[in-house]
Structure 1
Amino acid sequence: MSKISTAILRGVSGAFIANSGVGKIGMPAEYSAGIQQMAASGIPAMAKLPSDKFGTLLGYAETGIGAALLAPFVPNKLAGAALTAFSGGLMTMYFANPENTEADGIRPSQEGTSLAKDVFMLAIGLALMAQGGNSK
């Protein structure tokens, strides 16, 4: 992969995730609990975190992942691994809830489309991991 294509993959996904994370920091407790409930459907251990702080914790994690993707000194493998883990968690939420997919269990239903699109982040993370090296 060229340096330009790597910068595009890291820049676009990093800015998107960082922006999403910043928006969650300090969110109201009721929204935080709702996001936690969704997350726990795919990763049950998430239910053990304090529900009123879950959104803020998630926001800091997303902001950190976005920053790692945007920082050129963070190796592609490390940034890609963080993005792969994060998007893999989102995909578990997608597949754990039957209402997210059509009867075949793969294709997204109307309700599942917003999570199904996260497969692109998974692909970017895997590509960065496969590429290895630094983004410089």
Structure 2
Amino acid sequence: MSFISDAILRGVTGAFVTNAGVGKIGMPAEYSAGVQQAAASGIPALAKLPSDKFGTWLGYAETVIGASLLAPFVPNKVAGAALTAFSGGLLSMYFRNPENTEADGIRPSQEGIGLAKDVFMTAIGLALVTQGKKN
């Protein structure tokens, strides 16, 4: 991939993910518990974490992933792998909740539109991981 396409894929996605992460850091305990409940619907092991701290921990994780995309010294494969893992977790929430999809289990319902868009982050992460360039 070229420098320009790398900058577009990494810059836009990195800014989006970083902003989402920063917005979660220090969230009130009741909101944190709600975010944790939603996340645990896709990844049940997350229910075992302290609910009052979950939102802040998620915010830090998102911020680190976003920053890795923005930092040019982080290899594309590393940043792409982090983004793919993160967005894969979001898509697991989408597919494990029947209310998020139409009857076919694929197309998003009105409730699932917000998570369905995360397929774009998965595609960007996979593009970064699989490109032929060494960085």
TM-score (norm 1): 0.97
TM-fit CA distance, 1:133? 2.3
How far apart are the structure 1 equivalents of 2:103 and 2:40?
A: 23
1:30 is matched with 30
2:74 is matched with 74
Runs of 5+ unmatched residues, structure 2: none
How far apart are the structure 2 equivalents of 1:133 and 1:26?
A: 37
TM-score (norm 2): 0.98
How far apart are the structure 1 equivalents of 2:10 and 2:34?
A: 29
CA RMSD of the aligned region, Å?
0.6
TM-fit CA distance, 1:23? 0.3
Q: List structure 1 runs of 4+ shifted beyond 3 angstroms.
A: none
**Number of residue pairs aligned between Structure 1 and Structure 2:** 134
2:109 is matched with 109
Does residue 84 of structure 1 match 2:84? yes
Counterpart residue type for residue 47 of structure 2: A
2:47 is matched with 47
For the residue of structure 2 that corresponds to 1:107, the secondary structure is coil
How far apart are the structure 2 equivalents of 1:49 and 1:71?
A: 29
TM-fit CA distance, 1:36? 0.1
Counterpart residue type for residue 43 of structure 2: I
1:19 is matched with 19
- Superposed CA deviations along residues 63-101 of structure 1, whole A, max 9, x for unmatched, are 000000000000000000000000000000000000000
How far apart are the structure 2 equivalents of 1:97 and 1:24?
A: 23
* Aligned residues with identical type, % of pairs: 83
How far apart are the structure 1 equivalents of 2:128 and 2:11?
A: 12
